[in-house]
Amino acid sequence: MVENRIDREMTTRENTVRKKAWTRPEVLPSPTPQPGYAFRWIRTSNQGQTDATNVSSKLREGWEPVKASDHPEITMVSVENERFAENVIIGGLMLCKAPVELVNERSSYYKQQTDSQIHSVDNNLMRENDPRMPLFHDRKSKVTFGKGN
């Protein structure tokens, strides 16, 4: 029998997998997802100046700072503010979390505000509209094929 065969245990799929191509690392790492929570990076400073107004408004909205001990997978942690020394802060951005229900309510609130503003602008334009020379057309797209003669 021939002795130059490779043992079956030595020929595994892991040994034949291609090397992964280099990719640029994320600037802000993603935390491990937690069920029922959404994560967001909140600005704590801008151009070296602390932004207490932004932080306080986000905390009042319901965002909670995330402790660095809760997410050890985020290794690039730097303390930039004594008040948030135990939190995850990278480049003037602090990782925060909020319940998904709160995030969905906030999104629907701002969508309603946007829809209301669009409706108001549309009504204002329609008031000035004349059928002989229309200022406003419905927001519809039309796809045609052919020469268009």
Instruction: Return all residues near 92 (Cβ < 8 A) that are at least 6 apart.
Output: 43, 44, 45, 46, 51, 80
- pLDDT computed for residue 10 by the predictor: 66
Each domain of the chain, given as residue ranges in start order, spans: 34-100
Coil/strand/helix, residue 149: coil
Tens digit of pLDDT per residue, the chain (149 long)? 556 777 766 666 665 667 777 777 777 888 888 899 999 999 988 887 888 899 899 999 999 988 888 887 776 545 555 667 778 888 788 888 999 999 999 999 999 999 999 898 888 877 777 777 666 556 666 777 777 55
- pLDDT computed for residue 114 by the predictor: 93
Please name the helix (run of DSSP H) or strand (run of DSSP E) that holds residue 101, with its range, or none.
Answer: helix 100-127
- pLDDT computed for residue 117 by the predictor: 92
